[in-house]
Amino acid sequence: MAFDWVQLWQETSKPDNVPILIMTAAVGYYLWYGFREGVRHDRLITQLEADPALAKTHHRKPYPFHPAWDKVVHTWPYLLRVEFLAALIVTVGLILWAIWLPAPLEPPANPTLTTNPAKAPWYFLGLQELLVYFDPWIAGVILPHLVLGGLMAIPYIDVNPLGNGYYTWRQRKFAISTYMFGFLVLWVLLAIVGTFIRGPGWMWFWPGMTWDAHRQVHEVNRHLHELFGLTDPWVVGIFGGLVTLGGIGVGMAVCDVIFRKFKPKTFLRQNLVQYLITLHLIVLMAAVPLKIVLKLVFNIKYIWVTPWFNV
């Protein structure tokens, strides 16, 4: 089948999808910028670590500095003016955007006729995509709360004293990797999939495939316990619990081993609660893509089935 450029253009040119394109561009840009700065700072750090004498007198920034310059910059007017310029540019952008790409209206509401696909706004498409893999309770409530909770917990479990106030990669590899994984993979990527890959019927359409609402796919979902031939609800529930909780436990144990070997400083600095929270969050974060893979590749829907919730 030929590559359907028209279909691709139809989706990417939708006014609805402008924010996500901007976001993709912005993410890319800031990733590059952050790493550029981080690499610069890391070079300086290496330099200073090698040369203690220099370290004593250096101004600790990769940018040039003259002693006659002030070390402290006042917020007013120096920060504010930059912010003001940014505000002006954003305002101009928004005005022009509002004029040239007005919000499209859909047909008059008809309760008997649902649009296909019925997509959430772009900032929720990541969550909508997660619904494919998780129970709504998990995808819509537990995971977002975990995300928020996790983000809130970071200051309390982050015991790495380095990397405060300057870009660096070397000194904060773990934090940056973890965050990038959580943001780029578990948020941006899912949103992009939800916007451009998921088509009518929430079916998977690679770019260049025509979005055909009448397409038929054969996907038989099964639950994990079915692979083992279990049917009794009690057995299934217990099995699922064992797999899930056990899996988390195993994961945490594995992480523990890894931490002790590769991140001893963190291990030593954190108290038990902090450590357990850290391990727990890491395991859960890794479990999400694991479950995604299980669904996409092996068509396994839930690993723990109970009458009250599924995982």
Partner 1 sequence: MTDKSPAGDPSVPPDPIYQKSYSVPIALASIALVGSVAYAIAQEAWLLRPYKPIQAQWKDVTLTYLTKLEKERTDFDGALRLLDEFKSLNDEAAKVDAETKDVRERLQAEFVDLDHEVASLKDAIKVHRSEISALTYDAEHAAHGAFESGETETADPLKSPAAKSSVDGIKAVEARKISYTWKRSTGEVVVTEGVAGELIQKFVALQGAKGRKQQEVGVAFAPKSAADKARDGWIAKNLGSIKQFLEAPRPTLDADGNPSGTQEPTQLRAAVAKRVAEVGASRYVDDYVTVVSPSTVARLREKMERFQTGPLLGGEIQTFQIHVKETNNWVDRCEVCHLGARSVVPMTEESLRDAAADAKWPASKIESTKFSLFKSHPRAGELFAKHDPDKMGCSTCHNGNGIGIITTELAHGQNHDWLWPLFPKDNIEAGCVQCHQGDVHLAGGPRISQARETFMDKGCWGCHPYQGYDHEVAELTKTEGRIKELKQARIDKAARAERIKDLVNSVDDDAALNRISPPANADRDALTEQIAQIDTEVQLAERTRASLYDERIRVGPNLKDVKVKWRPEVLTDWVQNPEKVKPESKMPVFRWFGDKDEFGLFEEAKDVAAFIWQSAHSPEEFPEYRLTAPQGGSAGRGKQVFEKVGCLSCHGIEQDGKRIGGTFASNLTNVGDKLTYEYAFRWIKAPRHRLVPYSPKLGKDLTKAEYEKEDPATLVWRQPTRMPDLRLADDDARDVATYLTQLRSDTKWPTPTWLTDTKRFENGKKLAVYSGCAGCHEIRGLESERGIGTELTKEGTKPLDRLDFGHLTTDAKRGHEPLEDWTTTDGHKVFAKPEGHGEDAHHGGWYNSRGYFMHKLAKPDLYDTSKYFADRTLRSRMPKFRLTKDEIQDLTTFLLGSVDSRIPGSSMYQPDEAGQAIRDGWWIVKRYNCEGCHTAVPGQVPSFQQLPWWAPDEKRDRVFPPTLVGEGFRVRPDWIAGFLHDPSLGGGTDRPKALRRHLDVRMPTFWFTDDEVAKLVRYFEAMAKQPFVYQPPKVGALSATEKKLAEAIWSPKGMNCLQCHLAEGKETPDAETKAPHLGFAKHRLKPEWMARWIPKPVDMQPWTAMTSNFVRETPDDPHSRWIYMTPMPEFEGVSADHVDLMIRWVYGLPDAPK
Asked whether 178 and 282 are in contact (CB, 8 A), the reply is: yes
Looking up tokens 């970071």, which residue turns up? 154
Q: By C-beta, is 9 or 262 nearer to partner 1?
A: 9
Quote the least distance from Cβ 290 to partner 1, whole Å.
37
Quote the least distance from Cβ 56 to partner 1, whole Å.
22
Asked whether 129 and 193 are in contact (CB, 8 A), the reply is: yes
Q: By C-beta, is 52 or 104 nearer to partner 1?
A: 104
Smallest CA-to-CA distance from 300 within 252, 262, 261, 243 is with 243
Quote the least distance from Cβ 254 to partner 1, whole Å.
48
Q: By C-beta, is 31 or 89 nearer to partner 1?
A: 89
Asked whether 16 and 104 are in contact (CB, 8 A), the reply is: yes
Quote the least distance from Cβ 67 to partner 1, whole Å.
9
300 DSSP assignment: B
Q: By C-beta, is 210 or 274 nearer to partner 1?
A: 210
Q: How far apart are CA 7 and CA 208, in angstroms?
A: 7
Residues of the shown chain interacting with partner 1 in the complex, contacts defined by CB under 8 A: 6, 63-64, 66, 68-70, 72-74, 78, 81-82, 84-85, 88-89, 91-92, 95-96, 98-99, 104-108, 110, 113, 116, 210, 212-214
β partners of residue 198: 204
In the chain, alpha helices (H): 5-12, 18-50, 52-57, 80-100, 125-133, 136, 143-157, 173-180, 190-192, 224-227, 233-262, 264-269, 272-298
Q: By C-beta, is 106 or 219 nearer to partner 1?
A: 106
The amino acid that residue 58 corresponds to is H
Contacts within 8 Å (CB) and 24+ apart, 169-175: 169/35, 169/38, 169/39, 169/42, 170/38, 170/42, 170/45, 170/46, 171/42, 171/45, 174/263, 174/266
Quote the least distance from Cβ 167 to partner 1, whole Å.
17
Quote the least distance from Cβ 178 to partner 1, whole Å.
33
Q: By C-beta, is 107 or 307 nearer to partner 1?
A: 107
The helix-helix angle for 233-262 and 272-298 (nearest 10°) equals 120
Q: By C-beta, is 100 or 308 nearer to partner 1?
A: 100
Quote the least distance from Cβ 92 to partner 1, whole Å.
5
Q: By C-beta, is 90 or 154 nearer to partner 1?
A: 90
Q: How far apart are CA 222 and CA 216, in angstroms?
A: 19
Quote the least distance from Cβ 69 to partner 1, whole Å.
5
